[in-house]
Amino acid sequence: MNANYTNGQFKKSISNCRVSYKNTLELINSINNMNLLKAENKIKSVMAKQSCVIFKKFNSGIGRKSSAKHNKYGLNQGRFPVKSCKILMKLITNLKKELDINKEDPKLFYINCLRINKVKKIKRKIFRAFGRINSITSSVCSIHLSISGYHAIT
């Protein structure tokens, strides 16, 4: 994890993270431009399977969820991407610790920019019975998160 602090903005990033790009993108779209504590509560509720992440872009083959009905988009397709939530929770808790070190109040910060980029796929080999060898590709991505304070907006 890389960290930066420049005039009221805190930045964190994770690179080469083996997590689904599509699930993480939809999760990021649901918490972008949200208050830091509110985004943390949203992620916790998705991990507890109380509310789901609504899939707007990559929604082919996504099942319907009853917790996805009540939204402003009129969509009812969603998932509970727990692995993506765990990685974003790591980033947010790290940023909260950094805010505590700098004696800042987390209530006054919001998620300014949340980006995800695809990285080159990793190929692995899996050895199976009777001497067969299959290759597996895993989608790898890098996540960049930056927060800024409400008082910095002028």
pLDDT tens track for 8-49: 788 999 999 999 999 999 999 999 999 999 999 999 999 999
pLDDT bucket at 133, cuts 50 / 70 / 90:
very high
For 54, the token pair is 């609504």
For 121, the token pair is 């796929």
Q: How high is the pLDDT of residue 71?
A: 75
The 3-state DSSP class for residue 16 equals: strand
Give CA separation, 146 vs 63, 82, 87, 139, in Å: 32, 22, 15, 23
Q: How high is the pLDDT of residue 59?
A: 83
For 144, the token pair is 């960049």
Q: Is pLDDT above 70 for 5?
A: no
Domain residues for the domain of 105 are: 10-149
* Cα–Cα distance measured from residue 144 to residue 10, given in angstroms and rounded to the nearest whole number: 11
Quick one: the chain helix, strand, coil %, rounded to 5? Answer: 35, 35, 25
Number of domains forming the structure of the chain: 1
pTM as predicted: 0.85
CATH of the domain at 98: 3.90.470.10
Which residue in this structure is represented by tokens 């765990």?
86
Bridge partners, 5 (sequence order): 10
Q: Is pLDDT above 80 for 50?
A: yes
Q: How high is the pLDDT of residue 102?
A: 87
Q: How high is the pLDDT of residue 2?
A: 61
Q: Is residue 51 part of a domain?
A: yes
Q: Is residue 119 part of a domain?
A: yes
